[in-house]
Structure 1
């Protein structure tokens, strides 16, 4: 009598569904119509953001183009509040583009050499490009590839699946922060309009 074969689990599909459900049903639709005003809105003084070169007072101003992103090393305690522009820059570069370069044939990327988006439209184009390359790359990973050590700093002894989970958590939680900032901006705008009508 033969032993029944246990069903195999499609880990690649499950990992992608973790990100893609959130991307399609929550995050990306909530970013439609993002305005430049929202993109750079600073809800409190002293925010970190993406700014025209030479306009930042942050200790570190990273970027190779006309815009730079604010940083400090070590990071201040407490961490500064960040704008939508900063959060999208972090997701595009730190979560996605750097990993696309390391694992999926993407162009070299790091915070210092990136050309940060000066407009909301450009930022969303960068986000879509980085997301799409990442998803195509993860789709090529079978169970064996997901079990291999990824070799990345901070994940030296972890399998590639652990890095995939980490990147997806980064996109989900920073994306939620971006959506909250949009909600706060809309509420502030509605309140200001209401005050002007009184």
Structure 2
């Protein structure tokens, strides 16, 4: 039985999933203050920092505040994805280019056997997670629906103001959602419809890119929600 208002087409399912995730995220982010936004729950974490005070080797941003970014690597939770890339016929050199790592590192991952041990990773702040999402969606919009020429790392002016960061972020998300809702079935299946230069977007049908964008949004917003719970109970 068809339920009124519930879409079952491919694009409709992905948009509905995104809309529901956004609704929940907006509720969880209400009342976010600057102190909580920048709270570092563990030593050595990642955040946004004043230019010149960043503790990571590849921190970036166009303005006075930059987003922490570490050295490139392939995390343990992506080993299976690398194996799938190789099984699909992607060369080791191309995989290394996609992940910005050496050929030797890709060969090491492909040679790994048994369960991968979880990585020891820094604990990011809410500011970092929100800034990371903003950077990813801004870059994917520019290289899918925009002019496809601006450097993604220069698109987001990171800010220590939680209210301003959220205002800018939700405006971007509105633009992304409206642009996605207007695509055709043919565009959904087009390989390279997104030319986002970081990752494998140019080599995938856009439906796969869109699925991945939803996953990125959902899992980072879940992490932000948990950090809010920890802040309240600290």
Q: TM-score range by the shorter chain?
A: 0.7 to 0.9
**Aligned match of 1:67:** 65
Whole-Å separation in 1 of the counterparts to 2:53 and 2:16: 40
Q: Partners of 1:109 and 1:120 in 2: how far apart?
A: 24
- TM-score, length-scaled by structure 2: 0.71
Structure 1 runs not aligned, ≥5 long: 1-7, 189-198
Where does residue 80 of structure 2 map in the other structure?
none
Distance in 1 between the 2:20 and 2:51 partners?
A: 37
What residue in structure 1 maps to residue 14 of structure 2?
Answer: 15
Tell me by how many angstroms 1:11 deviates. 2.3
Larger radius of gyration: 1
SS of corresponding position for 2:49: strand
TM-score, normalised to structure 1's length? 0.83
2:113 match:
none
Q: 1:22 to 1:9 in 2, by over 3 A?
A: closer
What is the root-mean-square deviation in Å for CA atoms of aligned residues? 2.1
Report 1:38-77 matches (<5 A). Answer: 38-75=36-73
Cα distance, 1:157–1:54 mapped onto 2, change above 3 Å: closer
CA deviation profile, 1:36-59 (whole Å, cap 9, x unmatched) = 011100001001100122222222
Please say which of residues 106-115 and 139-148 is displaced more in the overlay.
106-115
Aligned CA distance change for structure 1 residues 113 and 102 (closer, same or farther; 3 Å): closer
Judge which range, 29-38 or 100-109, deviates more.
Answer: 100-109
CA contact (8 A) 2:134 2:156 kept: no
Q: Mapping of 1:71-86 within 5 angstroms?
A: 71-75=69-73, 78-86=120-128
Separation in 2, partners of 1:140, 1:98: 19
The structure-2 alpha-carbon separation of the partners of 1:124 and 1:65, relative to structure 1 and needing over 3 Å to count, comes to same
What secondary structure sits across from 1:68 in the alignment?
Answer: strand
Distance 1:27 1:109, change over 3 A: farther
Q: 8 Å contact 2:189–2:207 — kept in the other structure?
A: yes
CA distance in 1, matches of 2:176, 2:51: 29
Partner of 1:161: 207
Q: Does 1:34 align with 2:54?
A: no
